[in-house]
Structure 1
Amino acid sequence: MSQTVVPAPVFTRNVPAPPPSRLAEASQAIRASLSGSPGRLRLISLGAVACVVLSALLGGWALQMRASALDRAAASSAHLLLLQDVQTKLAQADAAATNSYLGFGLEPQEQRLTYLAALSDASIELAEAARHSGADAQALGQANAALNRYSAYVASARANNREGNPVGANYLESASNLMRDKIIPPLQERADADTADVKSAFSQGANARWLLLLAAVIGVGGLVYAQVLLTRHSHRYVNLPAAASTLGLVVVLIGAAVVMSSAQSEASDVRDGPLNHAIGLSTSRVAAFDAKAQESLTLINRGSADEEDKAWNDAFDKAVDSLDERIYFTAKTQLDEYGTAHQAINQTDVDGDWDTAVKQAISTADGSVNDLFQSYSDTTQKDLETQATAASDRLGDANDRLLPVALILLVVGLLCAGGVWWGVSLRLDEYR
């Protein structure tokens, strides 16, 4: 008889499944919250809030960009005018030094004081201008070193002139050549760099409007699209908090655009108005003082006068061309009167009456060449101060409102984001 072997029973122990990880739980909760109609409403809310916040940030950035550009334009404009003032004072000092030399040791005290004051002011302003940037420090440092040599040459010319030594004329001519070849060019180079920087800053400021437009498209477009989706899901045409948020964002963006446009318009008016006029006046004055110095140098170099009078004419024509006759009619008339008086002196010298030409060139009587030139100098100096002050003040005024409006835009943007979130929450409550 066979025996059946029954296998022993196998006992299995139920091992509990491992608990889900926190990440898995969070992922499952998110999927659950975003599923169905409530989930779609939450997605709409998140998208609308992101659009509004991004719009506020971009709009604030656009306003800050324009403010920064105007700050840069104002700084470069101020530096440009400072450099041109240095050039004017240097040219004025050179004109005073050369004209007083014609007195042959009997230089007028007033001209001596004019020379010293102009040279001192130019040296102080040159040091101030050199602090603007590293490139300015290097270029203007070389100009300052040359200016020290220039003043030494003038001092040597003056000392020899008082003793009646003809070599004084050589020192004076060397000083004037140094002024034109080594001092003025670096100043003009840095002035040209400032002009380019002002132009670049205005271009950057103009580009900020496209960033503000992008902010408006993202913010307003996102809110409108969100409300369209809300209408489809809730079958209600108006969500008051979302609509109010849209209106608030539109209003603040329009206000930002108006302020930005006004600031750019004001800055453009300054560039084409006071700043441009100030640059023209400065250029005219530098060239006019150069012409005055050339007038004296020709007489100092006895026998060098000719009918063409090229050096003087080149400088004088530049002085005339730099003046806007429609605005500065008086200064233009005074400059023309000086030019007529100079031509008479030059013709007298060409005709061989050098002594009379010198007497006419150093005279300060009413209607003399120096009196006529001084009238032009006084008029343009007053006009230049007016235009430079207007340019500085108006550029500052144009920039004052931009950053406060940027802050307002950011605050209103956050409020609008809260408003649209609240509006969607009202619809979500209907599902509970």
Structure 2
Amino acid sequence: MFHRGDDAVTEEHSLDESLLVEPESRRRPWREFLVSTPGRLSVLGIALVTAALVTGAITSAAIGARQQRIETLRTHTEPLTYAAERLYSSLSIADAAAATSFISGGVEPIAVRNRYNQAIGDASNALVTASNGVASTDAAALALLSEVSRNLADYTSLIATARANNRSGNPVGVAYLSDASAMMQDTILPAAESLYSEQSRSVADTQVLTGRLPRAAFAVAVALLVALVVAQVYLARKSKRRVNPGLVLASLLAATLLIWLAAATLVSTAATDRARTEGAQPLGTITQARILAQQARADETLALLQRGSDEQSEVDYTRRSAELADILGGLQDGDHGPATTPPIDAAVTALADWRRAHTMLQEKLDVGDYPGAKAIAIGPADSASPATFAALDESLQDGIDRFRSEELDGMADAYRSLSLLAVGSMVIGVLCGFAVGGGIWPRLNEYH
């Protein structure tokens, strides 16, 4: 209090107590909690639970995606490839049958005509199946299918004209047949082959992708197991207890997931590799062998129809039959399952018999014995070309069926080996999270 003239003036002073608090002591409660032992335990528990759930989710997603690729391969890609193979084979069979029908002269044998009609029908069905299976965005495949469809109509028209002239005894029928065969060999079959090769590559690429190990799933599973072990060591030092039952259970669950993941993916990868090496790859090879056989048969028939005047047909037959022998020899020396060995051995034997028949046929043509050559080309004898070629074609078709069966069995095994893992990994992740909570919560209660 002080005086100003006659008035007394009083000033009151208040104390700001916040100034008495040291700056470093003004900590927020959550910071104090985090640096405390209960806070660290809480953070550890939340991190481990999150890691367990993330591990389960990532593993489930990886396995689910792998199964989806296998299922797409089984139900879409492989059937589309098979349709392309049937288209390719049926076109070759039709061309060979069309040429054979001209040898007898006049009206062709019913069996040969039926074989041609069946082959054209099979090719048309395969064309429809392939067209329905190709994606609308696959412009290259659609263009190939369009080319085959358009030219196949022209081919059948030429064959019909050739057959009509042949029945009438007009020599021009052979010229129409030659034009039709040239269209098949130079235009239609190359387009069908390109389509088949493209679809085969798609199968091979998918199989390689499916055969890869899910690295992300393995990485998170291993990281979770290591984190759980480290957490147990940390808690043992903090709580002076050697064993935490909850974390031990969580570790066992994580180890179970890792072992299950490793076993299932290794079995799946092995099955996928088997489907590729013992199924898809030799299937493509033996399919090519059957195409070569059909083309060589057409060359043999055209050479006979032209009575040796055109040496190109004989040159083509020699080249294709030699290439066919090399392919079958490679398949015979390959490491395949016991189920696929018999048809390959039978095909090698049948090819040798057919080549001997062709040699006799050519010898007859060289001396001008056309009736004798014709008897070998269409005769009923077991050593004649029809019987030996039929044995070769049946063996090759049997091999195709068996190799495809090996491929489908391998893909089915690859899919089955992953059964329940997608769901099981998610369940294990959740159980692991509960186990972590059960291990951390009692330790937290000790500080309350």
TM-score, normalised to structure 2, is 0.87
2:117, 2:361 → 1: CA distance? Answer: 27
Q: More displaced, 88-97 or 214-223?
A: 214-223
Q: 1:164 — aligned with what? A: 169
Q: Give the 3 Å change call, closer, same or farther, for CA 349–11 of structure 1 in structure 2.
A: farther
1:116, 1:150 → 2: CA distance? Answer: 13
Q: 1:295 — aligned with what? A: 300
Q: Is the 8 A contact 1:345 1:361 kept in 2?
A: yes
1:346, 1:278 → 2: CA distance? Answer: 32
Q: Is the 8 A contact 2:96 2:297 kept in 1?
A: yes
Correspondences of 1:361-376 after superposition (within 5 Å) = 361-376=377-392
Q: Is the 8 A contact 1:223 1:242 kept in 2?
A: yes
Q: 2:405 — aligned with what? A: 389
1:412, 1:246 → 2: CA distance? Answer: 11
What letter matches 2:134 in structure 1? H
- How big is the shift at 1:366? 2.7
Q: 2:223 — aligned with what? A: 218
Q: 1:342 — aligned with what? A: 358
1:202, 1:55 → 2: CA distance? Answer: 26
Q: Is the 8 A contact 1:54 1:218 kept in 2?
A: no
Q: 1:90 — aligned with what? A: 91
Q: 2:18 — aligned with what? A: none
Matched, 1:152 2:157: yes
2:160, 2:49 → 1: CA distance? Answer: 74
What letter matches 2:332 in structure 1? E
Q: Give the 3 Å change call, closer, same or farther, for CA 5–358 of structure 1 in structure 2.
A: farther
Equivalent in 180, 189, 193 of residue 175 of structure 1: 180
- How big is the shift at 1:228? 2.1
Q: 1:431 — aligned with what? A: 447
Q: Is the 8 A contact 1:47 1:222 kept in 2?
A: no
- How big is the shift at 1:401? 3.7
Correspondences of 1:318-333 after superposition (within 5 Å) = 318-323=323-328, 324-325=331-332, 327=341, 328-333=344-349
Q: Give the 3 Å change call, closer, same or farther, for CA 57–3 of structure 1 in structure 2.
A: closer
1:6, 1:171 → 2: CA distance? Answer: 138
Q: Is the 8 A contact 2:84 2:199 kept in 1?
A: no
Structure 1 runs of 4+ off > 6 angstroms? 7-13
Unaligned runs of 5+ in 2: 15-26, 334-340
Q: Is the 8 A contact 2:97 2:115 kept in 1?
A: yes
Which secondary structure state, in structure 2, belongs to the residue aligned with residue 103 of structure 1?
Answer: coil
- How big is the shift at 1:308? 9.4
Q: Is the 8 A contact 2:86 2:122 kept in 1?
A: no
**Sequence identity, in percent?**
26
2:203, 2:229 → 1: CA distance? Answer: 40
1:87, 1:3 → 2: CA distance? Answer: 120
Q: 1:360 — aligned with what? A: 376
- How big is the shift at 1:430? 0.7
Q: 1:204 — aligned with what? A: 209
- How big is the shift at 1:248? 1.2
Q: Give the 3 Å change call, closer, same or farther, for CA 4–332 of structure 1 in structure 2.
A: same
What letter matches 2:352 in structure 1? D
What letter matches 1:162 in structure 2? R
Q: Is the 8 A contact 1:73 1:197 kept in 2?
A: no
- How big is the shift at 1:286? 1.0
Q: 1:76 — aligned with what? A: 77
Per-residue CA distance 1:66-107 (angstroms, 9 max, x = gap): 323433443433332321222111111111110111122131
Q: 2:134 — aligned with what? A: 132
Q: More displaced, 234-243 or 47-56?
A: 47-56
TM-score, normalised to structure 1, is 0.90
Per-residue CA distance 1:33-67 (angstroms, 9 max, x = gap): 42300001111112212222222222223322432
What letter matches 2:271 in structure 1? E
Q: Is the 8 A contact 2:221 2:258 kept in 1?
A: yes
Equivalent in 422, 426, 433 of residue 406 of structure 1: 422
Q: 1:238 — aligned with what? A: 243
